[in-house]
Amino acid sequence: MFLFRKSEQRLSIDEAHTRTSGNRPEAVLLDVRERPEWKAGHAPGAVHAPLTRLVAGAALPEVAQGRPLVVICRSGHRSQQAAKLLAERGADAIDVKGGMNAWAAAGHPVVDERGNSGSIA
């Protein structure tokens, strides 16, 4: 059974935060930005899987396999591509409108690779 309705095109930042936060999140926040972007700042608890690797055929990280995916990038363009690609592979995936730029602007936490306060480049 899929968590996301077929009519849902994209999630808002607040919907994405709600679905991927807490002790038992209903979905995995999958960040598809490249490594330097990820290292500078990402959402706590997000899982990293660069779009370039997914396009090349890489599997999802184990923690994301078989789970609903909320896909995010910097602005929303790459996450749309990734969500479509993952859905074609059978994943329950939806992307986030506005990406990490909107996430940070909404005041949601951003951490760097060491868990300190991060930034979106």
Whole-number Å distance between alpha carbons of 16 and 51: 19
> Is residue 45 annotated as part of the catalytic site, yes or no?
no
Listing DSSP states for 8-41 in one string gives: --EE-HHHHHHHH-SSS-SSEEEE-S-HHHHHH-
Please tell me which residue in 71, 73, 102, 120 is annotated as part of the active site: 73
Could you tell me the strand order of the sheet in which 28-31 lies?
Answer: 10-11, 93-96, 69-72, 28-31, 47-48
Six-digit token string for 19 = 């679905």
Q: What single-letter amino acid sits at 14?
A: D
For the annotated catalytic residues, the residue numbers are 73
